[in-house]
A = this chain, B = another copy of it.
Amino acid sequence: MKVPEEIVELLKREQSFTIVSHINPEGDALGASIALALALRLLNRDVRVFNRDGVPYMYGFLPFSELVETGMDRERLKNSVLIVLDCNDLERVGLKEVECKKIVVIDHHQTVTDFGHIRWIEPESPAAGLMVYNLLKELGTVIDRAMAVNLYAAIAVDTGTFRYENTTPEVLRAAAELVEAGVNPGEVSRRLYESWSVNKFRLLVSMLKTVEIVNTGNINSAISIITLDMFRETGADASDTENFINFPRMIESVDISAMFREVESGCWKASLRSKGNCDVSLIASHFGGGGHKNAAGYKVCGDIEEVKRGLLEAIQDLVATR
């Protein structure tokens, strides 16, 4: 990965920075933001970190997560370099417009916009955290334990702790170095995967009980449901359902995992995850939604049995036109 010299020079030259990342932030957005902020602070720069939605409870373990602010100081921003991390437009940041000195975009998502004065986009990078790791090495700053934990968590979240396809030799070597810098990998994993509330666990069990496996054409779909009643009975909330959709994927024969979560009475957020070559974005767009080949979603209202039937028909059509 080649770090653009322009960015290194800018970080060395400028004094004031504002780091922002996307709404509903996860470990990569937060860890990359905080690590970069800590490095710039070490270089005596004036740095602020903004995230519209703040730090979710489960990421409170990230060292210096308290740096993340949910309010933007617009006056200060005018003379500050804006660094947009792990996303590449203002809409994802949750801001309408900005007045700032310069805009730098650092992202690993494929991009369609040309927002920003300097754009560093690496679609091949598994995580924004790995880009920041390389940037810090290029800057020549020490990576201390606090930065290392933030970068390790960023990388861990976006590679499923090295379980996804995007696990490269480079990211494994970076992880090795971060462990040497003081990260306890077992501790990070416990925070990421063993910090569930009892309510969340109860909701998962309720959801798993609804799993139906339906074969349409040659596609096996695991369909699950979370109703408003289930939220009420377990005391869990929508933010607890992140990742639930991956559980039915453990079944070898399942091609698509589809989860319907009731958002208001009779209206559903459908999430679709597929394995391999099955393109669920085509299904989602049929219902006015969107996404990528292996992860997509849409919104739909109606009786749950009808809604499920609608999905299965769309899958059937997809198979027929292939």
Contacts and interface: CB of A to CB of B under 8 A. Distances in A.
Contacts of A165: 184-186
Interface residues of A, number: 43
A292 to B, nearest CB: 15
A145 B17 CA distance: 46
A185 B209 contact: no
A251 B205 CA distance: 12
Taking the full assembly, how many copies of this chain does it contain?
2
Contact of A193 (B180, B197, B248, B250): B250
A189 interface: yes
Interface string A182-211: 001110011001111110010011001101
B250 A194 contact: yes
A275 B176 CA distance: 24
Interface stretch (A99-107, A166-174, A304-312): A166-174
A197 B164 contact: no
Interface of A: 160-170, 172-173, 175-177, 179-180, 184-186, 189-190, 193-198, 201, 204-205, 208-209, 211, 213, 248-253, 275
14 contacts: A163-B185, A164-B185, A169-B177, A172-B172, A172-B173, A172-B176, A194-B251, A196-B250, A197-B253, A198-B213, A198-B253, A205-B208, A205-B211, A209-B209
